[in-house]
Chains A and B, each alone.
Chain A
Amino acid sequence: MGSRIRFREWFFLLALLVMVGLMMEGCGLIGQQATGAGGNVVKIGAALSATGALAREGELMKRGYELWKDTVNEKGGIDVGGKKYKVDIIYYDDKGDATTAGKLVEKLITEDKVDFIMAPYSSGITAAASAISEKYQKIMIAPLANADSVYSRGFKYLFGVLYPVGEGFGLHIDYLNTLQPKVQKIAIIYPDDLYPTTAAEVVKKKAEGAGMRVVYFQKFPKGTQDLSALISGVKSSGAEALITSGYFEDNVLMVKTAKELKLNVKYLGGMGAPTQPDFVKTLGKNAEYVIGMSQWEPTSGWKGPFFGSSQDYNALYKKKYNEDATYYTAAASAGGLALQLALEKAGSVDTEKVRTALRALDVETFFTPIKFDDTGFNRSGKGLIVQIKDGKLNIVYPEKLAQSKGVFPMPEWDKR
């Protein structure tokens, strides 16, 4: 018993020391940071998921921010009123959790004294985090949050780069309308979460407006591990097309289960997941012909200042990360770019001036055109429908940008 007690004493003393250390840090006695002493630094804060369920998306976003930052700094910085400002980004891990994200945004604003905030991934977390930045009247650029409800709260300092979820996801219906023979019955399944629910509801309305019948419309619990019951339901509903607004794992599970249960629909569509490189890696040959919705592809064909064209951006990304860029990364870079353009135009790092400049922004970039409406939402982009062919993404819609005609109806599982 004796030695054990001694250990406890040590432990307790250690705990005491740690507490003292914490208090000292809290009072700023140690680890004090130079707060923009040079003056020529734009300090940006970003809370992103490095752990938790959204860690992968968080990583892709971080690459986008980093690519923008590095490119800016290599070119000497942002030209603000004749002075060159370098970019510095401070990252924290929000663990995919809204509360933590809120806490971190406050830390970034009050402790790290950042000038601007880049938002986390997903609409739900951004909704929580932006409430904090709005309070402090700091500009938050949200590259990957596009549920309408995030912007309908009358916030003045929040800017969303990605165009609205409904319009993007609704492209599935636009595309289906161009296909022959016409699809009459569609099934929609989605997890119970802010963004997927919004998307599913919008697309349902749109499908009905286009004269289709939504024969199966089901919400499943977030993070479900089995979809066989739903897929069987889809099968007996006689749907010709199945689309989901779920996250990556939901999409993968949907395709796997559809194959397993021999659900032969003509059209199997998802949200952003099929455009992630992991999708083909995970599903292999079964990923073929799956259709996804992208906000941006290297072949999007936009061009604009700084990064040049979509292709140029992709080349830059490829040089660094050895794979093609996804819209997650591109959107993050575009968020940075929007801020950069506003800074240049404003000629000042003052929040109010930059905010006015952001509001007035109307420019085509490598990502999409960017023009924020009164709610701070960029509605001017255009989405793409892509299909996986030979393990690669092919743009099939809109026709103007299509690389090849889509394969429709998709071949039955047995006949591949």
Chain B
Amino acid sequence: MSDNRLSVFKTYKLYVGGKFPRSESGRVYEVTAKKSATGEAGTGKWLANAPQSSRKDARDAVVAARKAFGGWSGATAYNRGQVLYRVAEMLEGRKEQFVREVADAEGLSKSKAAAVVDAAIDRWVWYAGWTDKIGQVVGGANPVAGPFFNLSTPEPTGVVTVLAPQESSFLGLVSVIAPVIATGNTAVVVASADSPLPALSLGEVLATSDLPGGVVNILSGNTAEIAAPLASHQDVNAIDLTGADAALAKELEIAAADNLKRVVRPQPVDGGSVDWTADPGTHRLTAFLETKTVWHPTGALGASGSSY
């Protein structure tokens, strides 16, 4: 019986504004498996057709991200942590699917792919824990030479474009998305061009995880084509160039200068690949935060002699 069964292929779609649209352009491109860890992309078997996003898809994603920003940045840090933890729960439940997709995308054995997926879920939980702690680490009371309370608190930058790493299709992806949204930003994510399937499946997980629509928007396609309008977009506040090669990163950084976007350059800059399994530290959390400082007169040393 199973021999006669027709294959049911999955149609991978974009994730924009909490919905799963096809590309506005109607284009798709073929995604193939990597044969081995050293194999070139595009040499393996056909996996699926992924949508090839256009600049209008990018524009729509920014509109969705901007719309979601007020609610997400206004949610309590505690609530954001709960939502992100819920995402990790959902990832855990669909682990087998991600193991298969990561194995195909990165040419890994099943056990190695499973280790990568475990690390990615742990990474997500780790960032979920940071939501209500980062404010205490990077903010606080400042000593000043005057009778003032002086308090600094970190606030999210806004809409962040994230060019996900090209090689690490899932652990790298999680490592760049989670810190952006943990601090209250909303994200427009450009998935790895050759291996977008784990990212598109992540969209399905996010859609069922209490994460408000538009907080994360995932686009697949040619990185340079999608990134160019995002880098010059006046309503994008920051861009993470991790998935751009040196030449593209330079071009995008120039385009991003027009509205003074916050730019994170790919690390390391010499083109070597990043070790995504290493302890990430907090620099990706702090990269997309702005510091708000308030001065408040204490009155204690004021002329009135008041005691408070």
Are A and B associated in one complex? no
Q: Which residues of A contact B (CB under 8 A)?
A: none
